[in-house]
C-alpha cells in the first residue's frame, strides 16, 4: 500500500462521509476526492434542499465550499454542529465570517498558491485597458483595419503612477510587476505596511488623487464594501483607469458605470463584478472596458495547487483537527 493510499484509508476510517458536506459546485479534483475518497454528502439545490437538511444537517461537522458560494448566514444557522469550513479560494467573503467567529467555527482558505496568477491577470488588464489590446483585436476582426489605416492612439502603460488598494500578498505581487514597467507605486491599506518601499496614502480618495491608475487588490467583505465610491472615482478623474481583480463588492458598480458612460473615467479592466455572473449591459457596450469572467486564478497549474491545498486542509482537520492555512 502506498503512503498516499494509507493516508486516504486512515481518513476514511476517521471521517464519516455523512459529516462532510460539499456546498455548491467545487473544483472537479476536489469534488472527485469528496465523492470517492470521503463519500461526502452534497447539498442539493432547489426543492430537495430542505428535506436533505432535515435529514443530514445535525451530523455535518465539515463544510467544503468554493469562495464564490461560501457558507452563508442561513446555511450556517442550519448546521448546528458545524466545526470547520474548508474554502477553495483565497477570498471567503461569501461566508458569514462573523457568525463563524461567534460560534468558534474555523475557516481555511488557499492563500499564496494563486498570488502569481492573480497578479498576472491584474497586469493583463492593466496593459489591455491602457493600450487597448482587446479593442484593437475587435477592430481587426471587424475588418476595420482595411478601411481605417490607423487604430486610435492609446496611452503609455510604462512609467505611470499606480495606486494599489490593499497591499496584501496579491497587492505586493502586482506592485512588484509594475515596478518592472517603471511605475511609481502608491498604496492604501488598513494600516501602513512596515518596510514597504511604496508611498502610503491615508484613504482610498487620497490614493485616487495621487495616481493615474487604481488597482483594487483588497479582500472582499463588509469592511471593504463600496470603498471605491463616486468620490474616489471622481478623484481618479477623466484620465484615470480602474483595474479590479479583487471583488465586485469593493466598487460602487452603478457609479462606475455612470463615470465611464459620462467620460468621467478613461477606462476599466474588470475581472470581478457585483453580481456574478451578471455583467451589466452598460459595461458590455463600452469599448474602453475590458471584461473577464473572474479568471484571476484560472490556470491549470494554480487551480491544481488550490485543489491540493483545499484537500490538504481537509485531511489535516480530519487527522488532528488542525488546518494548514487557517484564515488569520
Ligand atoms: C476563485 C478567487 O476563482 O480565490 C479567490 O478568492 O476569487 C478565485 O481564485 C474563486 O474563489 C473560486 O471559488
Separation of 143 CA from ligand 1 center, angstroms? 36
Does the domain at 115-291 match CATH 3.40.50.720? Answer given as yes
Whole-angstrom Cα distance, residue 323 to residue 313?
5
What atom in ligand 1 is closest to the CA of residue 302? 9
Looking at residue 3, what is its pLDDT? Answer: 37
What atom in ligand 1 is closest to the CA of residue 118? 9
Looking at residue 15, what is its pLDDT? Answer: 53
Q: Which residue has the cell 452603478?
A: 254
Indicate the Cα dihedral angle 155, 159, 161, 167, nearest 10°.
120
Whole-angstrom Cα distance, residue 244 to residue 251?
9
- Residue 144: all three cell numbers together: 476595420
Phi, psi of 288 (to 5 degrees): -95, 20
Looking at residue 328, what is its pLDDT? Answer: 80
Out of 247, 253, 255, 303, which one is annotated catalytic? 247
Superfamily of 3-113+301-323 according to CATH: NAD(P)-binding Rossmann-like Domain (3.40.50.720)
Write out residues with Cβ below 6 Å of ligand 1.
66-68, 88-91, 114, 294, 296-297
DSSP 107-141: EE---STTHHHHHHHHHHHHHHHHHTHHHHHHHHH
Among the listed residues 35, 31, 38, the one whose alpha carbon sits nearest the alpha carbon of residue 11: 38
Q: Where in the chain is the domain with CATH 3.40.50.720?
A: 3-113+301-323, 115-291
> Model pTM?
0.94
Whole-angstrom Cα distance, residue 267 to residue 228?
15
Separation of 118 CA from ligand 1 center, angstroms? 9
Which residues have a Cβ under 8 Å from the Cβ of 32 and sit 6 or more positions away? none
Is 247 an active-site residue?
Answer: yes
The DSSP output letter for 321 is S
The mean pLDDT values, 10 residues at a time, for the chain of 328 residues are 41 69 98 97 96 97 97 98 98 98 98 98 99 98 95 98 98 98 98 98 98 98 97 98 98 98 98 98 98 98 98 97 95
Cβ–Cβ < 8 Å for 214, 173: no
Whole-angstrom Cα distance, residue 246 to residue 318?
31
Query: How many C-alpha atoms does 314 have within 13 Å on its Cβ side?
Result: 33
Among the listed residues 133, 170, 171, 172, the one whose alpha carbon sits nearest the alpha carbon of residue 152: 133
In DSSP terms, 125 is beta-bridged to none
Amino acid at each position: 500500500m502506498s503512503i498516499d493510499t494509507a493516508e486516504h484509508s486512515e481518513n476514511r476510517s476517521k471521517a464519516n462521509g455523512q459529516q462532510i458536506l460539499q456546498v455548491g459546485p467545487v473544483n472537479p479534483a476536489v469534488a472527485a476526492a469528496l465523492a470517492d475518497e470521503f463519500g461526502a454528502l452534497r447539498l442539493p439545490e432547489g426543492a430537495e434542499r430542505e428535506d436533505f437538511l432535515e435529514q443530514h444537517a445535525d451530523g455535518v461537522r465539515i463544510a467544503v465550499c468554493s469562495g464564490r458560494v461560501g457558507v452563508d448566514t442561513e446555511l450556517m444557522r442550519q448546521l448546528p454542529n458545524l466545526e470547520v469550513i474548508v474554502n477553495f479560494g483565497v477570498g471567503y467573503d461569501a461566508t458569514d465570517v462573523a457568525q463563524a467567529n461567534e460560534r468558534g467555527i474555523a475557516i481555511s482558505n488557499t492563500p499564496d498558491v494563486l498570488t502569481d496568477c492573480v497578479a498576472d491577470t491584474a497586469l493583463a488588464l492593466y496593459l489591455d485597458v491602457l493600450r487597448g489590446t482587446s479593442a484593437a483585436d475587435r477592430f481587426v476582426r471587424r475588418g476595420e483595419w482595411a478601411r481605417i489605416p490607423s487604430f486610435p492612439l492609446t496611452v503609455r502603460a510604462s512609467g505611470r503612477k499606480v495606486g494599489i488598494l490593499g497591499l496584501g500578498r496579491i497587492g505586493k505581487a502586482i506592485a512588484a510587476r509594475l515596478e518592472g514597467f517603471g511605475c511609481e507605486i502608491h498604496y492604501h491599506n488598513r494600516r501602513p505596511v512596515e518596510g514597504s518601499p511604496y508611498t502610503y496614502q491615508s484613504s482610498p480618495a487620497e490614493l485616487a488623487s495621487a495616481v493615474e491608475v487604481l488597482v483594487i487588490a483588497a479582500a472582499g467583505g463588509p469592511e471593504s464594501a463600496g470603498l471605491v465610491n463616486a468620490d474616489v472615482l471622481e478623484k481618479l478623474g477623466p484620465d484615470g483607469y480602474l483595474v479590479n481583480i479583487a471583488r465586485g463588492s469593493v466598487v460602487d458598480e452603478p457609479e462606475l458605470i455612470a463615470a465611464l458612460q459620462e467620460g468621467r473615467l478613461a477606462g476599466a479592466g474588470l475581472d470581478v463584478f457585483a453580481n456574478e455572473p451578471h455583467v451589466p449591459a452598460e459595461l458590455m457596450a463600452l469599448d474602453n472596458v475590458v471584461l473577464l469572467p473572474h479568471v484571476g486564478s484560472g490556470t491549470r497549474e494554480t487551480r491544481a495547487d488550490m485543489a491540493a491545498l483545499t484537500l490538504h486542509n481537509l485531511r489535516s482537520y480530519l487527522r488532528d483537527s488542525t488546518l494548514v492555512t487557517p484564515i488569520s
